């Protein structure tokens, strides 16, 4: 498919940078909605799983534009909170939690007094690509870790500052290049890349 364009169903600058870094050599012109000159209607993330939410966003974008569309859904799952926030990670705590800092602070308050041995958690991401005609493919990535006692690092976004990798660094303390290799979204996108290359051939 010469001059193949792949529409990203997101305006999140951090996600756009990561997706382009990981999939940039797959042979597609990766475009944001603004770059493609389209306005996508918001899609409510009301699914019961990351997969449902990612597919819903990708299919909606593909139907609206006629372009192949890529979407993702991801979150942090904290074992001591029975897997919360999970699929509600982006809106955890309700409307009063207006930014990443507030949501991170909420989780840390909920885990006050919980020892490090019981602060196990994981980042999970599902990416979906929808092709015109509602052909859909998904891939998943998971990274195991723990919730820190306090935020660490200034890189990244979302829950990165409170998510500790096995070596003790938070996801917000790794470089962008390293994150593009080890993050949950990176793992899912890397698994999707062979398919994108095949579709592009």
Q: Which residues contact 116 (CB under 8 A, 6 or more apart)?
A: 146, 149
Q: Measured between alpha carbons, how far is 18 from 101 in angstroms, rounded to an integer?
A: 21
Phi–psi pair at 138, nearest 5 degrees: -130, 155
- Measured distance CA(140)–CA(170) in Å, rounded: 21
User: Cα separation of 191 and 201, whole Å?
Assistant: 17
What is the set of active-site residues?
73
Burial of 98 (0-12, 13-18, 19+ CB in 10 A): exposed
- CA 12 to chain centroid: 10
Q: Would you call 148 helix, strand, or coil by DSSP?
A: coil
Does residue 104 contact residue 151 with C-beta atoms inside 8 Å?
yes
CA neighbor of 5 nearest in space, from 52, 38, 49: 38
């Amino acid at each position: 498919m010469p001059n193949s364009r792949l529409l990203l169903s997101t305006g999140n600058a951090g996600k756009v940078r990561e997706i382009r870094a990981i999939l940039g050599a797959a042979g597609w012109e990766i475009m944001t909605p603004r770059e493609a000159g389209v306005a996508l209607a918001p899609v409510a993330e009301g699914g019961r799983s990351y997969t449902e939410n990612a597919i819903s966003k990708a299919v909606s974008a593909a139907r609206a534009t006629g372009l192949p569309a890529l979407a993702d859904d991801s979150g942090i799952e904290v074992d001591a909170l029975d897997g919360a926030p999970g699929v509600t990670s982006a809106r955890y705590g309700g409307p009063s939690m207006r930014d990443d800092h507030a949501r991170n602070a909420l989780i840390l308050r909920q885990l006050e007094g919980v020892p490090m041995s019981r602060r196990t958690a994981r980042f999970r991401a599902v990416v979906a690509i929808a092709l015109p005609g509602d052909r859909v493919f998904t891939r998943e990535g998971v990274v195991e870790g723990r919730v820190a006692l306090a935020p660490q690092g200034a890189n990244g976004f979302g829950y990165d500052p409170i998510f500790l990798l096995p070596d003790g660094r938070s996801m917000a303390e790794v470089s962008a290049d390293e994150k593009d290799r080890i993050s949950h979204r990176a793992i899912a996108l890397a698994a999707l890349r062979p398919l994108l290359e095949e579709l592009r051939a």
